[in-house]
């Protein structure tokens, strides 16, 4: 089901949901605990399970020049929510009007009037409204007035609480094992395969190239990967994220993936690449032949890393 937007009328059958409210970038295990709380409340109330998310991410609205930081596209997030059997997704356009709203205006106009929520589950540290004036306690009080219950959910993971920030740090460090453990699945980059210089083809290892867009920048280097071409079947791959220092540096890091058991034209196709294991840092080699030898070794190492995954 496509997300609902309050810019248009919410269908009657989508109103009255028990919702989880937050940014949910990554839909990680902490987010999943908040969604589980909303599910439990929904079962008690006989209400559908919904999730309220924001697009663009509020950080991008308030800090338009901030470095890339996203863990997912909105499409990936929607699929992750669908996998959790979320019935209604309300994708809220985060704009100046919403940013200026008081906590009361947020609760009245969005939660009560637009969506008609019956219950809201949030992370215990969730803040909302102008200058982050609203918190779990103020939302609980507003809910009492407006007719919806509120459940603040304690962080998952104890002192080292699971958060999108912690996952970003793991990705930047190349620790894909930790990122996957916190997410509950391997971290993946999705995008449209674009034309490049076709250098991989001349080296005997053609690649599918994807721009990193607003994804957080992983550690530059080579990864063992699995690739979904859109049919849900995961193919083994070896990927490089970097600027190609040996054959001519690129202006921005690029994800270049060689599928180990595939031949065909993927240009213009949307694919998703799971980064399973970091193999080595990006390096500049003494010529194309040395690079070619290393690429062949990378493919062998990738196959080994993907055994049993």
Over 60: is that where the pLDDT of 290 sits? yes
Question: Which pTM was predicted?
Answer: 0.91
* Residue 251: pLDDT band with limits 50, 70, 90: confident
Closest CA to 67 of 171, 208, 162: 171
**Residues 145, 191 within the same domain:** no
Q: Is residue 54 part of a domain?
A: yes
**Cβ pair 208, 235 in contact under 8 A:** no
197-211, 215-229, 240-254, 284-298: the lowest-pLDDT one: 197-211
Calculate mean pLDDT across residues 173-190: 98
| pLDDT at site 170 | 98
On whether residue 7 sits in a domain, the answer given is no
Q: How confident is the model at residue 14 (pLDDT cuts 50, 70, 90)?
A: confident
Mark which of 153, 177, 210 sits at the end of a domain.
Answer: 153
- Planar angle of CA 90, 86, 148, nearest 5 degrees: 60
pLDDT at 6 over 50: no
- What digits encode the pLDDT tens for the residues 87-113? 999 999 999 999 999 999 999 999 999
Q: Are residues 196 and 142 in the same domain?
A: no
Structural domain span for residue 121: 12-153
Q: Are 91 and 3 a contacting pair, CB within 8 Å?
A: yes
Query: Considering the domain boundaries, does residue 42 fall inside one?
Result: yes
- Together in a domain, 143 and 35: yes
**Residue 131 pLDDT greater than 80, yes or no:** yes
Q: Are 192 and 146 in the same domain?
A: no
Q: What pLDDT, on the 0 to 100 scale, is given for residue 7?
A: 46
The pLDDT > 70 percentage for the chain reads: 93
pLDDT tens by residue, 144-170: 999 999 999 999 987 679 999 999 999
Q: Single out the residue in 153, 174, 208 at which a domain terminates.
A: 153
Mean pLDDT taken over the chain: 92
Residue 174 lies in a domain: no
Q: Of 103, 127, 153, at which residue does a domain stop?
A: 153
Residues 143 and 196 placed together within one structural domain of the fold: no
Residue 3 counted as domain residue: no
CATH number of the domain where residue 253 is located: 2.40.30.30
| 33 occurs within a structural domain | yes
Specify whether 131 is located in the same domain as 229.
Answer: no
**21 and 143 inside one domain:** yes
- Identify whether the C-beta of residue 138 lies closer than 8 Å to the C-beta of residue 45: no
Q: Read off the pLDDT of residues 35-44 as tens digits, 9 standing for 90 and up.
A: 999 999 999 9
125 and 223 assigned to the same domain: no
Take residue 1 and report the two structure tokens written for it: 């089901």
CATH number for the domain including 49? Answer: 3.40.50.620
pLDDT at 5 over 60: no
- Shared-domain flag, residues 137 and 191: no
Same domain, 299 and 200: yes
Are residues 135 and 218 located together in one domain of the fold?
no
The answer, yes or no, to whether residue 82 has pLDDT greater than 80, is: yes
204 plus 103 within the same structural domain: no
Number of domains within the chain: 2
The reported pLDDT for the residue numbered 3 is 65
Residue 26 located in a structural domain: yes
pLDDT at 248: 66
State residue 158's pLDDT score: 76
Residue 163 lies in a domain: no
């Amino acid at each position: 089901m496509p997300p609902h937007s309050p810019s248009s009328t919410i269908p009657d059958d989508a109103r009255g949901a028990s919702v989880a409210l937050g940014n949910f970038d990554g839909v990680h295990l902490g987010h999943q605990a908040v969604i589980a709380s909303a599910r439990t409340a929904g079962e008690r109330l006989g209400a559908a399970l919904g999730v309220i998310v924001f697009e663009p991410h509020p950080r991008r609205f308030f800090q338009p020049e901030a470095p890339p930081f996203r863990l997912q596209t909105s499409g990936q997030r929607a699929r992750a929510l669908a996998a959790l059997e979320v019935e209604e997704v309300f994708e809220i356009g985060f704009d100046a009007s919403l940013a200026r709203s008081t906590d009361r205006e947020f609760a009245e106009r969005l939660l009560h009037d637009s969506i008609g929520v019956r219950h809201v589950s949030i992370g215990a540290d969730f803040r909302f409204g102008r200058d982050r004036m609203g918190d779990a306690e103020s939302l609980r009080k507003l809910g009492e007035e407006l007719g919806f219950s509120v459940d603040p959910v304690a962080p998952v993971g104890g002192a080292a609480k699971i958060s999108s920030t912690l996952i970003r740090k793991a990705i930047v460090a190349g620790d894909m094992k930790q990122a996957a453990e916190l997410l509950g699945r391997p971290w993946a980059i999705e995008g449209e395969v674009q034309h490049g210089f076709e250098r991989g083809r001349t080296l005997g290892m053609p690649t599918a190239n994807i721009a990193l867009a607003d994804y957080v920048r992983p550690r530059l280097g080579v990864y063992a990967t699995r690739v979904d071409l859109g049919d849900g079947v995961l193919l083994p791959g070896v990927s490089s994220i970097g600027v190609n220092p040996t054959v001519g540096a690129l202006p921005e890091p690029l994800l270049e993936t060689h599928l180990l058991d595939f031949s065909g034209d993927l240009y213009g196709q949307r694919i998703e690449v799971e980064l399973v294991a970091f193999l080595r840092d990006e390096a500049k080699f003494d010529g194309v032949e040395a690079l070619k030898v290393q690429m062949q070794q990378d493919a062998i190492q990738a196959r080994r890393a993907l055994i049993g995954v």
